[in-house]
Amino acid sequence: MGRDAFRLPRAVYAGYVPKSADEFPEGFFERLDPSPDADFYVNPRLVAHIDEATIDALTQAYRELLPAGGSVLDLMSSWISHLPEEARYERVAGLGMNALELDENPRLNERVVKDLNVDPSLPFEDESFDSVVNAVSIQYLTRPVEVFAEICRVLRPGGIHIVATSHRMFPTKAIRAWHVLQPQDRIRWIQRYFELAGGFLPAESLDRSPASGTDPLWLVVGRKPAESGAPLAAEK
Ligand SMILES: C[S@@+](CC[C@H](N)C(=O)[O-])C[C@H]1O[C@@H](n2cnc3c(N)ncnc32)[C@H](O)[C@@H]1O
């Protein structure tokens, strides 16, 4: 399919609100390149995916939001996790598609290569992390609601999930919705992923973009309730 045919009008997805995880609009998660992600990520890319000022803004957000000393899961990780250099964490696990990229990441003390579009389950114990971060990669997930439900499972009560997004993408591997939607719509959809997964408090969005002329930075931040007891139900 050509890129023009791939780009549906924005209105198809912008105003649509699915009532359940089974009701996403048709074609939302399709990609120009439907071949296995393992093929696309076979060679390491030891590059920065956002400008230096945007990385600094993300690191500052992590400094403010991630509990010091806790356990961190860096999902869709590579050779750089953007965590504050001075911060010490009990555990930093990284999950991504390329073993060499993960090996080059000095912040990780656990590394898992796994394609979440094939199997969205996370190979970690229940309630084993204080924070889960996902930097500039949410547009590559084709089963995000299942992944978010897993994130909720592995987070401890009171834990935080931060999704950081900007405006760049590997176009052939990003879901169709990301080609069509404006940033504000994308943020709303990420909030919807949290809602449909269930178990999170309402997710907030934060614009942490540095000065103009650099890559923007938008965060969507969801927390698991601190109180133990019955988790919040997924919306039906
Ligand atoms: C744009 S890079 C971002 C890497 C890193 N988070 C950063 O901030 O530089 C996208 C990352 O998403 C990961 N990724 C893409 N598709 C994936 C999938 N199906 N399952 C797990 N990880 C995936 C890749 O390993 C790749 O490193």
Question: Where do the domains of the chain lie?
Answer: 3-235
User: Cα(97) to centroid of ligand 1, in Å?
Assistant: 6
Give residue-wise pLDDT tens across range 117-145.
Answer: 999 999 999 999 999 999 999 999 999 99
Query: Which of the four pLDDT bands, split at 50, 70 and 90, describes residue 229?
Result: low
Model confidence at 30: pLDDT above 90: yes
pLDDT of residue 17: 84
Atom from ligand 1 closest to the CA of residue 170: 1
CATH match for 3-235 among 3.90.1310.10, 3.40.50.150, 3.30.200.20, 3.40.50.170: 3.40.50.150
Are 224 and 201 in contact by the 8 Å Cβ rule? The answer is yes
Between the CA of 15 and the centroid of ligand 1 the distance, in Å, is: 28
Residue 230 C-alpha to ligand 1 middle, in angstroms? 32
Which atom of ligand 1 is nearest to 80's Cα? 9
41 within ligand 1 shell (Cβ under 6 A): yes
To the nearest 10°, report the CA torsion of 49, 52, 55, 59: 150
Determine the distance separating the centroid of ligand 1 and the alpha carbon of 229, expressed in angstroms.
Answer: 33
- Does the beta carbon of 137 sit less than 6 angstroms from any atom of ligand 1? yes
d(CA 71, CA 156): 10
Range in 15-19, 165-169, 209-213 with the lowest mean pLDDT: 15-19
pLDDT band for position 74 (50/70/90)? very high
208 vs 196: CA distance, rounded Å:
25
Residue nearest to atom 11 of ligand 1 (CA): 76
Ligand 1 pocket test: pick from 137, 148, 165, 170 the residue with the most ligand atoms within 8 Å of its Cβ.
Answer: 137
**β-bridge partners, 219:** 164, 206
pTM of the full predicted structure? 0.94
Dist. CA 36–CA 221, nearest whole Å: 29
- Cβ atoms of 141 and 186 within 8 Å: the answer is no
227 CA to middle of ligand 1, Å?
A: 32
Query: Ligand 1 in contact with 140 (CB < 6 A)?
Result: yes
Q: Which residue would you say has higher pLDDT here, 14 or 28? A: 28
